[in-house]
Structure 1
Amino acid sequence: MRILLSTYGSRGDVEPLAGLAAAVRALGAEAVVSAPADPEFCKLLDRAGVALAPAFMPVRPWIALARRSGWKLPRAAAEMIAGQYDALSAAADGCDVIVATGLFPSTAAAQAVADTRGVRYVHVSYCPIILPSPHHPPLEYPGQPHPAGVTDNTALWAVNDRAMDALFGEAVNDHRTRIGLPAFDHVRDRVFTPRPWLASDPVLAPWPQTDPADVVQTGAWILPDDRPLPADLAAFLDAGEPPVYVGFGSMATPGLTDAARTGVEAVRAQGRRVVLARGWADLAPVDEGEDVFATGDVNQQALFPRVAAVVHHGGAGTTTTAARAGAPQVIVPQVADQPYWAGRVEALGLGVAHDGPTPTVGSLGSALGRALSPGIRARAADLAPAIRGDGAMAAAKLLLEGAG
């Protein structure tokens, strides 16, 4: 059996697919991942022993091109669908099933490839609030705000349906008709399918059991990481009390322009040392203090059990890794589903949701002080064993059994 796993987005979109691919291979089947061929993703997939079928364009140059061209979302969607369809068509030879996640135009292209080849298509989300439900509201798209005064979730999802048709419908259907496929009405629901998968941990991010939607929750897809920590980082950790990790992953948003200085000063105010992750914002120490260690890509699964707390943006992967490590969290959400993860961490007592995307030394220090309190530290440690690590294997078995 050969399975094509497709995504287009940041590392948080790519790494879970690497975890699923590793699980599929462990069960004796073949898996290939189509993802942006940015160097960091190539290294990630190579480390996992997973074959890469490059997406239509690396993601960072794509972001630069879209900004430079001044494209609005419908035009960018049309460009991505066409490019991804060609890339995935080349990768799909001999595939029995296509699993797609990531940006909506990319998943629509993956579905079109599956439809033209007559093979099974599975749509996956990493966060519950991406999928329609009366239990939560949808995210807002740029230029498509929720109507003032409307609070009913069902009504808001109807607004979201119309918004996604407005943003993506023409691009999806122009491409489908051009390649001989029938057009869609209600493109969101057709691309998501009547039975989407949800790859999130059922403790951290449960799907309501009373929800009428037919959703398959597999658990989070985690790629095991056995890399040792760099020797100099290990020495830094050994040289004192556990530091606080500060990192914002693939975020380089305006709210984080001064994140390095803010993070370091807020942590210092708590009497702690800092591990500063550079990330896409290229964070760097603001002075030569020996209490700050800057690092690039590192094994978070090995690092987080050794820190006092994790300050981050609220990506699904970082949130899950910190929760599994029993590390208190401070989430400074920037975009998309990140406010959801911040809210879940605070509701579960695992940490603190920062109020807004732009931290100050005072606001971040206050949140960190709360996260380092004995109650939250104990709660994070107590809940850690309940966070599952077998979601990728559960999903792989479903794929190979043709179930789900």
Structure 2
Amino acid sequence: MLILLTGASGFIGRHIAEALVARHKVICAVRNPDGIADARLRANAVQADFLRDTDPADWRPRLSGVDVVINAVGILREQGGQTFDALHRRAPLALFAASASAGVKLVIQVSALGADEHARSRYHLSKKDADDFLSGLPVASVIVQPSLVFGADGASARLFGTMAVLPVIPVPGDGGQMIQPVHVNDVVAAIVALVDRLPAAPSDSAGSTILPVPGPEPVTLRNYLSTLRAAIGLGKARFLPIPMPLVRLSAKLGGALPGGLLDPETLQMLERGNTADVSALHALLGRAPRAPAGFIEPGLAPALRLRAQLDWLLPMLSISIALVWIVTGVVSLGLYPVEESYALLARVGITGVLAPVMLYGAALMDIGFGVATLCMRRRRLLWLAQLAVIVFYTAIISWKLPEFWLHPYGPLLKNLPMLAAIWMLLQLEEK
């Protein structure tokens, strides 16, 4: 069977492609075909851009001989030109219209649980627009609506995993929000089953089916986090309820920052709940979907635990380093007696008009290092610059003011763990 898959470079799409390529010929329609790691998939990949391909004519040449179209493109947050309207609505509508006119036997739309008549978020509403359009076309279709999807390489799983390993886990309100997480392997198994049961000949009747894809049963957010924590081998979870007004304020702040998963819309989706009847999925799979207690295989638990711990410890380390630079710079600007700073500079040979230039220039550089540590996303050159400055400071002071090595507060000794921490961040940045 010939299958056109969009979104093959994304989280769910990647898993779908890996499952189908051993059974069928899969054409991956992606922006960068050369970026596909699997040679079997790369050989049949075609270039496609959901930001640009918004007319059915853009898709018809790619659908020649295609039996099944699977659309797995999706974003949780808008960024730049990647908008809900473009990726969830305009391009899928063009793809679906072209599929209906090209004689495709089946269209599978990977939507989302909650894209229904009660939808309020732009994420859900854009998915619903595409779902409704597909339902009205003369082509057989299944609208797959997963709930919260867990997978070791998924963004939401990484977020919840990081939360689960915290010494004290903050939860919105009492953490009683209802969710029904499903493992990505069960989502993929459902889509493979839909493809495999397609008859060899095109169906004479067209129609659309909505398939909810939740986990086996609803759980509270608090229970889900406790389950993940136990699965990766940590002790009992301790929770810190966060009043909802503070959570909503944090969501507003998160909405203004790139890369975050919490914004007013995702919070609204969490508060609404994310549950559904599992019976249709159970019947399709011939078994119950995996429960959250089995999401993490024992052999993977140590690696996932380490990654989750680093996901919050490394940002804490970066913030600490940033504060050291910023506070040092602010103190040097005048909180520490300027005359004593000039006296120290004189002992290393810096006097006259050069003294204030060096003092205030170094202070501003320190503050700049701190701000850049907080704001920059790619920081390899920044870490190298910080290492060079600390080594330079340490060498000069060791030469001209060696008594600071014997100071009871250890001002020079503290440079050693600082260098080690920055070196570690540099190495992880390169990886």
What TM-score do you get using the length of structure 1 for normalisation?
0.35
Structure with more contact order per residue of length (Cα contacts < 8 Å, sep ≥ 6): 1
What TM-score do you get using the length of structure 2 for normalisation?
0.33
Which structure: larger Rg? 2
